[in-house]
Amino acid sequence: MDIHVGSIPFKIKEAELKILFEQFGAVDSVKIIIDKITRQNKGFAFVSMPDDKEAYLAIDALNGTELKERKITVTRAGSRPNKKL
């Protein structure tokens, strides 16, 4: 499952995000989105996890937590989280 991670620090690395998500389950890959104009960190990344239940677990666990002194948001990618389930 693809997970959208926002409000991440610009100085973070994909390996660090992978480690954070690996604490709650297996992580397939982590990708930080880079801006096309500035070639810099856009401020959000995507995490791919093979197991969906572990993905939801990591989302619920890492969503709203602090990372590098910065608040991060973890949600399902591909489709924005709906307020009504």
Q: Tell me if 13 contacts DNA by CB under 7 A.
A: no
For DNA, the closer of residues 26 and 34 by Cβ is 34
Of the candidates 46, 51, 56, 61, which one interacts with DNA according to CB under 7 A? 46
Distance CA 12, CA 50 (A): 23
- Give the binding-site size for DNA (rule: CB under 7 A): 30
For DNA, the closer of residues 24 and 77 by Cβ is 77
Distance CA 1, CA 46 (A): 10
Dihedral, CA of residue 31, residue 33, residue 38 and residue 43, to nearest 10: -110
Site string for DNA, 56-85 (x = CB under 7 A): --------------x--x-xxxxxxx----
| Cβ-contact 77, 4 below 8 angstroms | yes
